Amino acid sequence: MTEFRLISNDEDDGDESVVRGLRSLYAAPAGDAYWNELEARIMARVADVELGWWTELDRWVRPALAAAAVLLLAAGAAMFRAHQAENEIAVDSMLSAPSVPVSTAIRPALESDRDARIRYLFGCSPQEPSCSAQNSKR
């Protein structure tokens, strides 16, 4: 297996020239002009950039509006379906046969609450004379 080395050993002087060449290519510039120009470019770029957090939100305006529109449509569709389901249940309950006889579901308007409670507790219908209001007052 071949061993690659960038640092030369005492035995091999051929790598020394490669190392010197690479160091000269990657060495930092010696003059102050380069560093001053670099600093000026960096500071100009920093001054151009707005540092407010709200500037980041500008990129999200269109996707956020699209997402809000989709959300509103979905919520509207869900509310419409819920309203339709409630209406269907209401119509079905009005059109279906009642589970209790109509005479027990509707009490006479002249009947007092006390009489209705007594009839309900004893399981009597309003037509039976044994459960009338006069018999319960005795």
Encoded tokens for 85? 């389901």
**Amino acid symbol at 34:** Y
Instruction: Find where tokens 């010197």 sit.
Output: 20
Cα separation, 89 vs 72, whole angstroms: 26
Q: Which residues of 30-69 are buried (b: 16+ CB within 10 A; e: fewer)?
A: eeeeeeeeeeeeeeeeeeeeeeeeeeeeeeeeeeeeeeee
Pairwise CA distance, residues 7 & 75, whole Å:
69
User: pLDDT at position 46, please?
Assistant: 86
* pLDDT per residue of the chain (138 residues) written in tens, 0 to 9: 556 666 655 555 668 888 888 888 888 888 889 889 999 999 999 888 777 777 778 888 899 999 999 999 999 999 999 999 999 998 888 887 766 666 655 655 555 777 777 777 877 766 665 555 444 454
Is the CB of residue 15 less than 8 Å from the CB of residue 8? yes
8 A C-beta contact, residue 103 and residue 124:
no
Provide the whole-model pTM.
0.35
Cα–Cα distance measured from residue 32 to residue 36, given in angstroms and rounded to the nearest whole number = 6
Kindly list the domain boundaries of the chain, sorted by start residue. 1-49, 53-96, 99-138
